[in-house]
Structure 1
């Protein structure tokens, strides 16, 4: 069975929950990207790529619901996992706050162009979405955007950059993803894994 896990903030929680479900995976060393663990294979990827890998053939993955929604990948999501909790929010400079309804023509910087467009379209507001990959909070400070849409955990990064949360777009948590074909061809194995993880969540351990 092949697993793909996201580098970064969800990695330790992902390894931990799999370990408690009886699957011990060693992470790749020395810049390797794939490592064999007995009958398992582990691939580490950028969080935004995890749903794409699962859609196109990797058996099981873990990714944030923000990434799964943004990508719109065709994967099975049998479980929400009890870590990676945060939210996707709209934020603006503290000294330049307006109501969302007044944001027509605003420029919004984000790693989540699809979710951002959907959010504003629902409200009937036209904005220009600027896709960035790095530190989104910089965009309003250097004047290339009026507001940002980004992940908020503690709110400390926003505060440090003189930004204030205006509206929550969605709650975010880690999700277990399963490839649709693997779910059929490796049904027993996949099912057993899902049940074990369910048990781990239920026992809160």
Structure 2
């Protein structure tokens, strides 16, 4: 059980860190549905508004007085954790790789949200294309940093066009010949005449923590990491 954060100072002075609630940032959407059984198995139960689809609240109290949950977009989880506005968070490896901030440490793979990050192109190109011969590519992607690093490792110059959605439309509309995107079943690619030609990384969601917070509040944050680890073990057994 994580400590409550009360100080035992003789003058009854409570540090700012002890007064401050721990904040857990969770992503909206599909990953939220997958992670909540783990969150609850770790002993965290949010207030009723959390499960109310009509609620417009973004922050929620929990059954632990010193822990609250915020619900934000997946990429924003990394921002909140990196800058210490959230002490813990759940984020996909894709988000963490793209953000690549040294203040974020991801000690625990939650094994949820599995997909892969792949390079895809129109089927007519894929039938005869050999990625090993590329020297320059123009790519539409939500992940320009990951894409550039991936191709740079092979000496390929990648010109990235940043899109936040509808990636599969880009080749058909003449924006580029290739895309880098997350792939689950591959059905969306197939429906839009695209095929995978390379897998950049296998993706799952991780429990991430702010490094500075872990250093200043090791017992609390370490305790929650252990609770999540135990919850995963319990589900696996």
User: TM exceeds 0.5?
Assistant: yes
Unaligned runs of 5+ in 2: 1-21
In the alignment, which residue of structure 1 is the partner of 2:105? 76
1:37 to 52, 57, 62: 62
If the length of structure 1 is used for normalisation, what is the TM-score?
A: 0.93
1:22 to 33, 40, 43: 43
Distance 1:153 1:132 in 2: 19
Distance 1:137 1:166 in 2: 14
Cα drift, residue 85 of structure 1: 1.1
Distance 2:115 2:150 in 1: 18
Distance 2:203 2:56 in 1: 29
In the alignment, which residue of structure 2 is the partner of 1:48? 75
In the alignment, which residue of structure 1 is the partner of 2:160? 129
Distance 2:81 2:231 in 1: 23
Cα drift, residue 186 of structure 1: 2.5
Deviation digits for residues 56-113 of structure 1, max 9, x if unmatched? 1111100001110100122121111121111100011111222213333331000000
Distance 2:139 2:173 in 1: 13
1:157 aligns with 2:188: yes
Contact 2:122 2:193 in 1 (8 A): yes
2:90 to 62, 65, 70: 62
Contact 1:15 1:25 in 2 (8 A): no
Contact 2:28 2:72 in 1 (8 A): yes
In the alignment, which residue of structure 1 is the partner of 2:209? 178
How large is the Cα RMSD of the aligned pairs? 1.6
